[in-house]
């Protein structure tokens, strides 16, 4: 599925809040052969669309992206974002430059967050630069970059019918790693949701399945926010997010909604720390 | 097999062919439908009475090999010819059709589409002119609707439009079992639950007793998981219970003893299942699991490094919701 629209941002749905119109399947006429200059120019355009004129400094300490250089499965590319956990990170955005909707995810951290390591799984539609942009508490922006080889992740059909893919939509699970008292707890949140990209063919109607994806997901520990995730079609189906939080003995609350009005809420009780 | 056979020349059983042997019964190669250079090494072998199979290359599809990577072939019955697998591209299918014409003048009445994967269905276009019955799993139509064009575009990138061919849909679908009578032999089809893919169809020939499990059975080449890991183990047990002693695997030698081949297959799938489950239980992330699970199987399978990580990715998604 390649829908070439040329290298202009004018008709590009950026994803997240910037995707004001219904998402249509579009993709860059980008590919493996693009030069570094072309990629840099594209990133400049995207960054300007998202962050305006705010300067973005390079960093190798405030955020680091780990992604496989060559994805084994373009529809499920595991990403790890590593950041300092001393409270200076306010938010992190993940942008997959050559995806049809490049702005993949934005995490805004709350007081119960430990942003040291964040894992998520994304779709990658093309050979692309991937950017992580962090915002520090003083409002400054810093970026890190990684190049990923993958193709077709957004249009890759699911191995099942839409109906099967939607089975149990909104179900959630949370796993907690063993922890020490007073230390952050690592958790894995699993959400059942097809996260249809709008670029996958329906098996029966042979028409595109409309995009249906988790657009907002809030995790809180008691009354304290851990993070709010604003998501888009680049997040893989059945989203799984690894994060860490500062426990205060209260249950973890998760609220998720999708762009078609679906809304789900679950509560999980972390195990008490082992001594 | 200890190392992936990456060169087209490297597949066993073909090395001894003389120059004369590769001339396909006197036809010069330049007049044959183009299969790329790999065609020089192709031939069909008679593996049972009236049953001919061409061994696929144990490599990935390239422009040179025309995606001729699956074991394909045909069965000559009294009333006509049944194509057991059509090939991986229009070019591959045309090559097979020319092979059939050299062996028999009987009409091609049936073409089996064993499952949704491109190396097994894109040869079908070469047989449309014969107006055969295209036989497939009841779920194949929807699977091809979802993936056919996606696969076709990728194949076109590799081979060009002319050698790729159209997506051909089944005209006879099997939801449970079905039978096709070729006059002197009957073919019994079984539609399997989600296993290698969600559209796996197997067949047994009454004339030879041979089982055609297609990609439910990989030999030498690492199995690729695209349906359900737990389901595949179930369906492998079912194949065994069906009782045939010899089989024509989807990839690997043209025929094998079924029991040991199935034991190797389930050995890999079990290692994949147990290793992935253990990784999930220990909170080992998916990106670490792809490098650690089923490593002890590495020496047993060609293309292990290409496919094992992907298999772990698929298995992880299935098993993490257990
Ligand atoms: Zn297959």
pLDDT at position A161: 74
What is the pLDDT at residue B18?
33
Which member of B146, B149, B314 has the closest CB to residue A203? Answer: B146
For a pLDDT cut of 90, what percent of chain A falls above it? 61
In the prediction, which pLDDT does A54 show?
Answer: 96
pLDDT bracket for residue A141 (50, 70, 90): very high
Q: Is the pLDDT of residue B100 over 60?
A: yes
Residue A274 is predicted with a pLDDT of 56
Instruction: Please give, rounded to a whole number of angstroms, the shortest distance from the CA of B316 to a CA of chain A.
Output: 11
Predicted confidence at residue A16, as pLDDT, reads 60
Q: What is the pLDDT of residue A23?
A: 32
Q: What is each CA distance from A249 to A117, A227, A233, A269, B305, in whole angstroms? A: 21, 18, 34, 8, 45
Do the chains contact at B321 and A173, CB–CB below 8 Å? yes
Question: For position A185, what pLDDT does the model report?
Answer: 93
Residue at token pair 């400054």: A140
Number of domains in chain B: 1
Q: Which of B194, B272, B286, B307 best probes binding to A when mutated, by most A CB atoms within 10 angstroms?
A: B286
Check CB contact under 8 Å for B321 and A186.
no
Residue A203 confidence class, pLDDT cut points 50, 70, 90: low
Most confidently predicted of A32-46, A78-92, A153-167: A78-92
pLDDT tens digits, residue range B179-188?
Answer: 999 999 999 9
Check if the beta carbon of residue A93 is closer than 8 Å to that of residue A83.
Answer: no
pLDDT reading at A126 higher than 80: yes
State the average pLDDT over residues B112-131: 97
How big is the CA angle at B226 (ends B220 and B231), to the nearest 5 degrees?
90
Give yes or no for residue A120 having a pLDDT over 90: yes
| Sheet with A214-221, side-by-side order of all strands | A56-58, A141-148, A128-136, A89-96, A103-109, A224-231, A214-221, A252-258, A263-268
Who wins on pLDDT, A61 or A179? A61
- Considering the domain A25-268 in this protein, what is its CATH number? 2.60.40.2470
Asked if A72 and B310 come within 8 Å (Cβ–Cβ), the reply is yes
Task: Give me the percent of chain B exceeding a pLDDT of 90.
Answer: 80
Distance A192 CA to ligand 1 centre (A): 27
Q: How many angstroms separate the CA of residue A205 from the nearest CA in chain B?
A: 8
Gyration radius of chain B over CA positions? 19
* pLDDT value, residue A66: 95
Q: Which two tokens stand for residue B26?
A: 């006197």
List of residues 6+ apart from A177 with CB closer than 8 A = A185, A186, A187, A188, B283
Question: What is the token pair recorded at A111?
Answer: 């007081």
pLDDT in tens, B194-253: 999 999 999 999 999 999 999 999 999 999 999 999 999 999 999 999 999 999 999 999
A173 Cα to chain B: minimum distance (Å):
9
Output helix, strand, coil percentages for chain A, rounded to the nearest 5. Answer: 10, 40, 55
Confidence of residue A205 (pLDDT cuts 50, 70, 90): low
The CATH number that applies at residue B53 is 3.60.15.10
Phi/psi at B144 (5° precision): -70, -35
| Cα B229 to averaged position of ligand 1 atoms, centre (Å) | 14
Please indicate whether, in this complex, the C-beta atoms of B149 and A201 are within 8 angstroms of each other: yes
Strand, coil or helix: what is B274? helix
Q: Where are the domains positioned within chain A?
A: 25-268
Q: Is residue B223 part of a domain?
A: yes
Tell me what pLDDT residue A208 has. Answer: 83
Q: How far does the CA of residue A13 sit from the closest CA of chain B (Å)?
A: 22
Interface mutation target, options B289, B317, B318, B319, chain A, most CBs of A under 10 Å: B317
- Could you tell me if residue B247 is inside a domain? yes
B28 or A252, greater pLDDT: A252
**In the predicted structure, residue A135 carries a pLDDT above the cut 70:** yes
Measured in whole angstroms, the distance separating CA A41 from the mean position of its chain's CA atoms is 23
Residue B105 lies in a domain: yes
Give yes or no for residue B11 having a pLDDT over 50. Answer: no
Say whether pLDDT at B268 is over 50.
Answer: yes
Within-domain flag for B59? yes
Per-residue pLDDT reduced to its tens digit, A211-262? 999 999 999 998 999 999 999 999 999 999 999 999 888 999 999 999 999 9
- Could you say which of A72, A160, A203 has the minimum Cβ distance to residue B309? A72
Tell me how far the alpha carbon of residue B178 lies from the centroid of ligand 1, in angstroms.
21
Q: What is the ipTM of this complex?
A: 0.81
Does B317 touch chain A if contact means CB atoms closer than 8 Å? yes
Distance CA B154, CA B118 (A): 10
Is residue B311 domain-resident? Answer: no
Query: Given this model, what pLDDT does residue A201 score?
Result: 72
Q: What is the pLDDT of residue A273?
A: 63
Average pLDDT over residues B287-311: 95
> Are the C-beta atoms of A211 and A23 separated by less than 8 Å?
yes
**Does the pLDDT value for residue B118 go beyond 70?**
yes
Identify the pLDDT of residue A165. 85
In sequence order, which residues have a C-beta less than 8 Å from that of residue B243 and are 6 or more positions away? none
**Does residue A197 carry a pLDDT above 70?**
yes
Range of the domain at B130: 22-258
Nearest one of A155, A141, A34, A143 to A88, comparing CA atoms: A141
Question: What's the pLDDT score for residue A15?
Answer: 60
């Amino acid at each position: 599925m390649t829908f070439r629209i040329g290298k202009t941002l004018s008709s590009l749905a950026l994803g997240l809040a910037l995707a004001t119109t219904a998402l249509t399947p579009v993709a860059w006429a980008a590919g493996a052969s693009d030069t570094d200059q072309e990629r840099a120019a594209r990133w400049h355009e995207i960054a300007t669309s998202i962050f305006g004129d705010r300067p973005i400094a390079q960093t190798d300490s405030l955020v680091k992206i780990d992604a496989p250089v060559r994805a084994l499965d373009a529809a499920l590319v595991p990403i790890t974002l590593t950041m300092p956990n001393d409270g200076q990170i306010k938010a992190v955005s993940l942008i997959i430059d050559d995806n049809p909707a490049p702005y993949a995810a934005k995490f805004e951290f709350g007081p119960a967050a430990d942003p040291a390591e964040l894992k998520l799984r994304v779709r990658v539609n093309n050979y692309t630069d991937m950017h992580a942009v962090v915002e520090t508490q003083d409002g400054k922006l810093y970026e890190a970059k990684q190049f990923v080889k993958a193709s077709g992740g957004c249009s890759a059909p699911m191995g099942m019918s839409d109906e099967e893919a939607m089975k149990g939509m909104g179900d959630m699970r949370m796993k907690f790693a063993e922890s020490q008292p007073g230390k952050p707890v690592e958790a894995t949140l699993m959400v059942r949701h097809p996260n249809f990209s709008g670029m996958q063919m329906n098996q029966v109607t042979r028409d595109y399945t409309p995009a249906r994806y988790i657009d907002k997901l809030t995790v809180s520990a008691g009354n304290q926010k851990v993070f709010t995730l604003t998501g888009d079609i680049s997040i893989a189906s059945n989203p799984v997010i690894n994060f860490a939080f500062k426990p205060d003995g209260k249950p973890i609350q998760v609220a998720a909604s999708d762009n078609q009005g679906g809304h789900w809420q679950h509560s999980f009780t972390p195990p008490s720390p082992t001594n | 097999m200890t190392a992936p056979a990456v060169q087209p020349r490297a597949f066993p059983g073909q090395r001894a062919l003389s120059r004369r042997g590769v001339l396909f019964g006197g036809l010069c190669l330049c007049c044959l439908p183009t299969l790329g250079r790999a065609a020089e090494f192709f031939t069909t072998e008679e593996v049972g009475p009236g049953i001919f199979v061409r061994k696929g290359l144990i490599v990935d599809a390239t422009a040179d090999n025309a995606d001729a990577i699956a074991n394909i072939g045909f069965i000559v019955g009294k009333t006509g010819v049944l194509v057991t697998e059509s090939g991986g591209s229009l070019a591959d299918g045309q090559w097979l059709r020319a092979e059939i014409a050299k062996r028999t003048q009987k009409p091609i009445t049936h073409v089996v589409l064993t499952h949704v994967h491109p190396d097994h269905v894109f040869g079908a276009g070469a047989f449309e002119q014969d107006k055969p019955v295209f036989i497939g799993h009841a779920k194949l139509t929807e699977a091809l609707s979802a993936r056919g064009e996606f696969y076709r575009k990728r194949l076109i990138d590799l081979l060009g439009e002319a050698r790729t061919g159209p997506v051909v849909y089944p005209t006879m679908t099997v939801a449970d079992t079905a039978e096709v009578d070729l006059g002197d032999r009957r073919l019994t089809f079984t539609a399997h639950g989600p296993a290698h893919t969600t559209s796996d169809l197997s067949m047994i020939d009454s004339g030879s007793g041979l089982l055609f499990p297609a990609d439910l059975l990989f030999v030498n080449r690492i199995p690729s998981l695209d349906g359900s890991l737990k389901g595949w183990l179930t369906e492998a047990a079912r194949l065994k219970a069906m009782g045939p002693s010899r089989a024509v695997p989807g990839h690997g030698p043209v025929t094998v003893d079924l029991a040991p081949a199935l034991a190797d297959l389930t050995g890999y799938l079990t290692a994949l299942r147990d290793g992935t489950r253990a990784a999930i239980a220990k909170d080992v992330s998916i990106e670490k699991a792809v490098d650690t699970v089923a490593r002890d199987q590495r020496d047993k399978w060609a293309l292990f490094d290409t496919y094992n990580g992907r298999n772990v990715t698929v298995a992880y998604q299935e098993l993490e919701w257990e």
